[in-house]
Chain A
Amino acid sequence: MSAVAGVAASPAVAIPFLKERLLALGTLALLAPVPLFFSNALELAVLLVYLGVLGYFLLRVRRGRIPRLGNLALNLAGLLYLPVIVLDARFGSHTLLKTMLHLLLFTTLFKIAAIRKERDLSLALVLLVLLFVASVSTSFHYAILLYVILVAFVAWAVLVKWALWRDLAAAPEEWNRDRAVRELPGRGPLVTSVLSTVLLAVPFFLFLPRLKAPYVRGADAGREITTGFSENVDPDLFGALKQNDRVFLRITSEEPLGEGAAAVLRLRTLALSRWEGGVWKKPMERGGGGVSAGRGSLILLAPRGRGAGGGVAMTIDLTPIQTRYLPYPVLGNALRLSEGSFRNPGLAYVERDAARNVRLPSEPDRTIQYTALYGTREVPDLEPGDAAEAARAAGSSTLRAFALETLSGIDPATDPEAAARAIEAALQRWTYELDLQPRGPNAVEDFVANRRKGHCQTFATAMALLLREVGVPTRFVTGFLGGEIGAFGGYVLVRGQNVHAWVEAWCGPSKGWIMFDPTPVRGQPRLERVPVSQRLRQVTDGLEFAYDRFILSFGQGDQAEILRKIREATGGALDVLRRTGAAPVRRRGMAVGLWVAAGFLAVLFFVRRRVRGTPWKTRGLAPASAAYRRLQKALHRLGAPLTSASVPAETLAAAVALGPHAARPAEAIIRAYVRESFGGLAAADGEEDRLRGLFKEFRVAAHRLPAQ
């Protein structure tokens, strides 16, 4: 090759394809910071200024007037921006993240406007990538996936051309000469490449090592979500929670959750017994039994093991609700958690307290999943537990008078259940109203004596205090009731408006704690299907929940869970194979299945061959033609660029390339073929054997050659 020199191409320009590359960079620069605004990491004004300046720059580039800032301008801009950083950090953004993002945007703009060398283009690309990484890492909305895929398409198309521009730097005229290259990559390859990348990314995402708990702090950070499950439940604030339409739980079940399953979807989260200063307070944390909960072990909800472990499985995905307490169905009898449910898999245990609350060792900071097993009836809770605490009356004469009046003829000491039912019935006749106005220190008395209007928490508080006044220990219970049946069925979304309160009253050693719900039926949340007009919102909420649960909150525990399932599935398959002798029915079924699968594959294979053709078919051919076809096939397998349409001369040339030992028998076969096909001469007796021998001789000679 040193003896040859190509005719010199046109003289190279300083930066070839500068205009095209700037436009490509500009397109990426327009897209890169957009999610920052939606994740509240960037102010709208800053984003608009950035996009405006960039757009103006790109317009000038399109018109061929490429601005190039000099060193003086760059240095001046840098110096002028220094005080801006200080002011920005002090008085503007107040967060380091925003200040840095402003700086990054500023630097990107000036870099793109000052491209003078090839290296400047690479630096600009690096800055854009940093912007892109910042956008993705600060966003906690599922729409970021759509954005990432959009950028993947755009970036792939840009990079294909970028690679060509780099390679053609020495011959830029080639770009203008070849129209086909300007259409690269083409729609088909672009879609295939990006989708392949996305598909390949899935196993990488699932199995890349996680050494830390997932970081899920997002836009909601710092915004207090006052849930009814926090340490203290203030009746005045409880109502605000019911106006929150955020999804708190997503529930699926082995049995379909239709409108008739409302009773199943009463989830008990926190039972409180201490009423102090007009506020329900969390139970004193003194011992509760700790139960190891890792690796899917069962946690019985009935302390004495009654009704253990049986029933239907309900899977609950719980978002962080600022409490350690786990909601579970009142019909539930056991819970099953996995390592993924715990922030620290080393501390995989739950505690049960005297009020039959179940709590984790620490408050989850991300969506967790666990399973509850439930039946058709409540498992009786016959343990008195914190009955003593729950019996402390408020000492209100108003409440006592009302209770006694309502219970006329019923002795709460002998029949507490009847007493509770009477009070429940009385309260249910009142009016439900979601009134958020604070009521002051005697709110409950005022409610009972005068207003008789309120929301569930008011009714529950009233009933609890009324029953305590007549000596019936009663707990105030918060949880969830009802939900929205998913748009595509199969799951239920539980929102803020499904938060509910009721009571549990101790009805004696034989009946234990029994649940009562004094809220008027009209005010009780229901399990319902949403109207079509709200389906879209439900779908987006469902997507957001799924994104939060399966992607943002994906952690080590989830990986362990996946591996465990793979191990189980693999082990189960191996067990089935091993135990085929012991399970003839299953073996027969497996054998049938295997035969069907083999048959299907065979059909697929033959159909494919039929459709594509069998290029080396020899059936039905005359002896010399068949031998010739076999020779071609053998040569093709040895690397010769032959097809079944190759002429004898090409076939002979391919054989000659293998050397004289292989060429001699090949030539004889080809001659015979030519005689037969073109000479019209029929094969002589013994010709087939002779050809077979020649082919064998050829194969021996060909395989003795070193591999090509």
Chain B
Amino acid sequence: MAFGARLQKLLHPRILVRVTNLGLGFILLTLVVALAATNTGNNGLYILVSLFLGALVVSGVVSRRNVENVAVELDGPAEIFAGVPVRFTLRLTNHGRLPRRGLLVKISSAAAPILFGRLEPGRPAERGVDLVFPKRGRRSIESLLVYSGYPIGLFRKGRVHPLGDERLVYPAPAAVPYLPPDPREAEGGDPRDRRRGRGAEIRNLRDAGPGDDPRDVHWPQTARQGKFIVKERASEEGRDALVELETHRPAGVDATWDEAFERSVSEATGLAFLLLARGSRVGLLLGGVLVPPGSGPAHRRGLLRALALVEPAREPGRAPSAIPASVAVYRAGRGPERAA
């Protein structure tokens, strides 16, 4: 390290120092005993004062060395949902030559400290830690505090390790209170026009053939006709769907509206997940902003991203003009509708 950098490190070490209650008491005790020694000339008291002063110096040096040269990393999963505990990996690496002892890490002021009892030089140590991001959106873990009262708790020294780890927290998917009805029922139509599949709906009855699943046997008809009759099911796959979320924030509303909005966002997320799981291609209509329907992991992340970042708007959004009639529109916070 360059001399200037070393000097600056010495003068401004960026190590936080707090004298504990025990430390204050110890210093006070040292002063009292020093006063007694000076007033009485008792060399036994001078021995004690000397040892106390020596202990203060040793404690100060050791405690400082104990928090130096420690690197901190925090790794977490790619998807984080608001209010849902997620497991992060906290990794401390000791770049010094001597072991570090009794290190405590605090990720936030409210969180309990995480203890690393002994950190060998050169070897990282990991701990899993559950974190909760209460709100969706761009959130960052700006820094961690690594501190320790080692050796004897007179001083508590630590360093703030900047992380600058910005995460996008997705809204927690709310349990959808109802199963959205199949939009194809609303428009009528012959079930036999639907694709064959393994859904719950019966598309057709036919004679059983090789390879048919015995569970598809329609027993009443089989008994009536005297031969095996099987159910032919329709595909569960729906068509394109849009989850709509009203983002216009009326003037004069209070915090309850914001809470309801957040619940709507969560519901929209839940809807989107459910529809994606059913095989639909899902898009979003957030105010006037359209995210075209799609499917697949990348599209899913895109939907989540959009829901994480959606904010209430002062003006009502302009509905996009070209929404095909066949696209089912599910409004979060209200029942399903079909786009006009």
Contacts and interface: CB of A to CB of B under 8 A. Distances in A.
Interface of A: 1-9, 122, 125-126, 129, 133, 136-140, 144-145, 148, 152, 156, 159-160, 162-164, 166-168, 170-171, 174-175, 177-186, 189, 193, 196-202, 204-205, 208-216, 551-555, 636-639, 641, 703, 707-708
Nearest to B87: A7
B225 interface: no
B21 A133 contact: no
Interface string B42-59: 111111111101110110
A3 B135 contact: yes
B132 interface: yes
B183 interface: no
B15 to A, nearest CB: 15
A645 B50 CA distance: 46
Nearest to B131: A4
A136 B50 CA distance: 13
Dominant secondary structure of chain A at its interface with chain B: helix
A136 B43 contact: no
B150 A137 contact: no
Interface string B80-124: 000001000000000100000110100111111111111000000
Given A178-B115, A198-B51, A205 B29 contact: no
Nearest to B21: A122
A445 B37 CA distance: 55
Given A189-B101, A205-B46, A214-B43, A4 B149 contact: no
B133 interface: yes
Given A185-B151, A201-B50, A639 B41 contact: no
29 contacts: A1-B107, A1-B108, A5-B111, A5-B133, A7-B132, A8-B112, A136-B44, A136-B47, A136-B48, A137-B45, A160-B102, A163-B20, A163-B153, A167-B153, A171-B115, A193-B151, A204-B54, A205-B46, A210-B46, A213-B41, A214-B41, A214-B42, A215-B42, A551-B43, A551-B47, A552-B43, A554-B46, A637-B1, A707-B8
Given A1-B108, A6-B110, A160 B45 contact: no
A641 B69 CA distance: 9
Contacts of A168: 104, 113, 115
A179 B129 CA distance: 18
Contacts of A209: 38
Contacts of A162: 22, 152-153
Given A156-B152, A181-B102, A4 B44 contact: no
Contacts of A216: 43
A585 B174 CA distance: 95
Contacts of B71: 641
Contacts of A136: 44-45, 47-48
Interface in B62-81: 62, 71
Dominant secondary structure of chain B at its interface with chain A: mixed
Interface stretch (B140-148, B199-207, B247-255, B287-295): B140-148
B321 interface: no
B195 interface: no
A58 B22 CA distance: 24
B40 interface: yes
B322 to A, nearest CB: 39
Contacts of B109: 1
Given A139-B44, A160-B151, 16 more contacts: A4-B139, A159-B22, A160-B150, A162-B152, A164-B153, A166-B22, A167-B148, A167-B149, A168-B104, A174-B113, A201-B53, A201-B54, A214-B42, A215-B40, A216-B43, A639-B1
* Most chain B beta carbons < 10 A, residue from A1, A152, A164, A213: A1
Contact of A6 (B1, B108, B140, B142): B108
A3 B58 contact: no
B298 interface: no
Contacts of B39: 212
B51 A197 contact: yes
Interface of B: 1-2, 4-5, 8, 20-22, 25, 29, 33-34, 36-51, 53-55, 57-58, 62, 71, 85, 95, 101-102, 104, 107-118, 129-135, 139-143, 148-153, 156, 169
B135 A180 contact: no
Contacts of B46: 205, 208, 210, 554
A478 to B, nearest CB: 31
Nearest to A550: B43
Given A1-B142, A159-B153, A202 B50 contact: yes
A210 B41 contact: yes
Given A5-B110, A133-B48, A551-B47, A163 B58 contact: no
Nearest to A209: B38
A196 B54 contact: yes
A211 B38 contact: yes
A7 B130 contact: yes
A112 B226 CA distance: 91
A144 B106 CA distance: 43
* A-B pairs, 9 with minimum CB distance: A163-B153, A6-B111, A181-B117, A180-B117, A9-B112, A200-B54, A212-B41, A159-B152, A201-B50
A160 B109 CA distance: 24
Nearest to B8: A707
Contact of B47 (A3, A193, A205, A638): A205
Nearest to B114: A174
A584 B274 CA distance: 99
A503 B110 CA distance: 89
A145 B130 CA distance: 51
A212 B40 contact: yes
Contact of B150 (A125, A163, A175, A196): A163
A196 to B, nearest CB: 5
Nearest to A212: B41
A201 B30 CA distance: 13
A208 B49 CA distance: 9
A215 B5 CA distance: 51
Given A122-B25, A200-B58, A637 B51 contact: no
B38 A554 contact: no
A5 B131 contact: yes
A181 B43 contact: no
Contacts of A137: 36, 40, 42, 44-45, 48
Nearest to B138: A3
A3 B139 contact: yes
Nearest to B165: A4
Contacts of A125: 25
A637 B3 CA distance: 9
Contacts of B50: 201-202, 204-205, 208
A184 B101 contact: yes
* Most chain A beta carbons < 10 A, residue from B5, B43, B107: B43
Nearest to A702: B2
Given A148-B47, A184-B117, A638-B1, A200 B133 contact: no
